[in-house]
Structure 1
Amino acid sequence: MSDPIDFVELWRGGMLESVHRGHAVVVDEAGEIVHQWGDPDAVVFPRSSAKMLQALPMVESGVADRCGLTTEQLALSCASHSGAAIHTDRVQRWLKDLEQTDDAFNCGPQWPADTPAKNGLIRGNANPCRYHNNCSGKHCGFLTMTKANGWGPNYVAIDHPLQVGIKQVVEELTEESSAGWGIDGCSAPNFASSLHGIGRAMATFASADDSTTRGGAMVRLRNGMMAHPELIANEDRACTHLMRAAKGKAAVKTGAEGFFIAILPELRLGVALKIIDGTTRASECAMAAILCRLGVLDPNDPSVKAYCNPDLVNFAGLITGDMRPSAALA
């Protein structure tokens, strides 16, 4: 077992003030590690970075086609959106197509991270709904599978056929038995795996083609993510900005507690990283740095620099320091 390494540094007044540490792997289509930092065998919860794995049974089984799902809906099934109108309008239409109401969701209500949407609720003296939950697109996919198969409504239960199928997919693509499971923020099970295993799964997505049913389903999900980056996150979020900057070379997805993945179809590589202290700013910086190192992102692109080398600015607008990747990543 290897210790985590320094990934991201914060400097102020010419002095190193803080350090975020973590683990990361880059895995090829054969499942082999081509770059590693820290411990590839660290057991992790991928959190929302696993959403394309959770959506895969819906596409692979043919349910997505039978229900006429669009590329936007496939993207939303992989999204951690901000509850903006571009997200919730589509989620509500999907619910209507399913002849379901907000109460059918097993996720809880959540205030939108999108400022206009949140302010609109406050001005209207309204409470958030379940469709505002950042995972409501994924849960629409869950409801689609549940209705198509005639399964019971408690689709987040660990023994529900939906979750049994998702666990099987996770174990097949990581090529390891899950080390356990925990309850995610949206109430669904999240299956633990090694960092190498998650990287292997993402490399399989990256190298997939239409020659098999599963491969074709993977292609559709990763392409849906890249075609609609604004639905995966929002106009002010890293996943959206980094996918746009990659110009079709990467599908990326953040997860809670400092997790992040990338699927790189042209290079046929998968990336997985975990920041030990769970800080999102550090996972965004580290992922941007790794993608620059792999030639997927241009380090001079302003939207990339905003995550890889941002200035630290105080409330008066003064630059007080900077955040940067460590020498190990740079």
Structure 2
Amino acid sequence: MTDFNNSANPILVQSYRGGIVESFHRGSFCVVDKKGEVIWSMGDIQQLSFPRSALKYFQQIPFLLSGGFDHLGFGPKELAIMCASHNGEDMHLSVVNDVLSKVKLNKDSLQCGAQQPTRKSDYIRLIKNDLGPSCIHNNCSGKHAGFLAYCVQQDYSIIDYLNLQHPLHQAIKAVTAQFCEMNSDDLSVGVDGCSAPIFGMPLYNQALAYKNLIAPMPWKNEAMDSACKRIVHAVTNYPELIAGTKRYCTDLMRVTNGRIVGKTGADGVYCLSIPEKNWGIAIKVDDGKMGPQYQVAHGLLSALGLLLPQDIEALKSHGYCENFNFAGNSVGYSTLVPLNPPL
């Protein structure tokens, strides 16, 4: 996995206080073209890591391929929440509940673990109503609702739906290997923060997966191609469901209006598809911090000329982050180091 003693990965983001660099974040990134060739990279792109939630788009493909998604009458809103790492806002909980109710289940069937809502205001509201966070507030509850719906429709057990050997995860493993262009036996295996199995691979192969999500490939039959297009349509048409208020995934896909597909992953991962060019991009910040991954994504997209001037302006808060102390005073900032693509 990631070698934290490896200083070969370059510094990508620096934090300043009083005019000096106070801290920095190393990382790596990989940009591949429609042929899968690396057109720009920095750092070790063969390092192993888990995409974490950036794998969610691929985790729902078996459900779409099975026909069960359509049989249950689900649409793009439900698909978006199944692919989401959401804030736990009311709009998210409503769609998750809708998915569960379609298969006659409720939040008690979720095994992702309780998590407080991302926004402080939503958490305070729970407390004021003498309620605590539950599994439905977990940022992965939509994914788990999709897992459960798939299992019910396929007549699979839901008691052990998080077991690696469950047919659900064997199907996900096969799809993951296909999109990453790897042998399934070569995938690393771990347990995600939501208790679901998670597969790992080199950063380069993560970029390949996001390229393959949107690029025409010989191995994509009509059903697979349709599944990919439906995922892209869902997340770009309902960006508010993918993450939520003031979140980078939501803001990026709303502002770019389908030109860019992005997905965050825990511990410093960010992956992108560029449909217009059939490119895939994967980013990993070594120390796992979440803020820098968005700064790197924003900087890469800007450097590659993929953001319009109005896009850059609308997303600037994600690229340049001002730091405040407890008194609310501005005490510094963090920003991406200058990047010069060889294109």
TM-score bracket relative to the smaller structure: over 0.9
Greater Cα offset, 244-253 or 293-302: 293-302
Identify the match of residue 80 of structure 1 among 77, 81, 85: 85
Supply the distance in 2 between the matched residues of 1:299 and 1:182 (Cα, whole angstroms): 41
| CA distance in 1 between partners of 2:61 and 2:221 (Å) | 16
Correspondence for 1:305 among 289, 297, 316: 316
Displacement of 1:147: 0.6
Which secondary structure does the structure 2 equivalent of 1:22 belong to?
strand
Shift of 1:319: 3.1
Task: Tell me the distance in 2 between the aligned counterparts of 1:123 and 1:187.
Answer: 29
Matches of 1:261 and 1:2, distance apart in 2: 23
- Preserved contact between residue 81 and residue 233 of structure 1 (Cα < 8 Å): yes
TM-score (norm 2): 0.91
Deviation at 1:313, TM superposition (A): 3.2
What is the match of residue 133 of structure 2?
128
Q: 2:102 aligns with which of 94, 97, 112?
A: 97
Deviations 1:54-77 (A, max 9, x none): 011111222211111110111111
SS of the aligned residue for 2:315 comes to helix
Change (3 A) 1:244 1:35: same
Structure 1 contact 9–324 (Cα < 8 Å) conserved: yes
- Number of residue-to-residue matches in the alignment: 330
Range with bigger deviation, 181-190 or 114-123:
114-123
Percent of residue pairs identical: 34
- TM-superposed deviation, 1:317: 4.3
RMSD: 1.9
Structure 1, gaps ≥5 residues long: none
* Rounded Cα–Cα distance in structure 2 between residues aligned with 1:328 and 1:293: 7
Change (3 A) 1:123 1:317: closer
Residue 235 of structure 1 pairs with residue 265 of structure 2: no
Q: Spell out the pairing of 1:57-72 with structure 2 (5 A cutoff).
A: 57-72=62-77
Task: Check the 8 A contact 1:222/1:263 in 2, yes or no.
Answer: no
Q: Distance in 1 between matches of 2:309 and 2:53?
A: 26
Cα distance change of structure 1 residues 329 and 319 upon mapping to structure 2, 3 Å threshold: farther
Match 1:10 to one of 8, 15, 34: 15
Deviations 1:18-52 (A, max 9, x none): 11010110112222211111111110100001000
How far the C-alpha of 1:285 sits from its partner, in A, is: 0.3
TM-score (norm 1): 0.95
Deviating runs (4+, > 4 A) in structure 1?
208-211
Spell out, residue by residue over 1:253-295, the C-alpha distance to the aligned partner (whole angstroms, 9 max, x if none): 1111000111111121111110000001110100111111222
Distance 2:168 2:340 in 1: 39
* 1:109 counterpart = 2:117: no
- Consecutive unaligned residues in structure 2, runs of 5 or more: 1-5
**Which residue is equivalent to 1:258?**
268
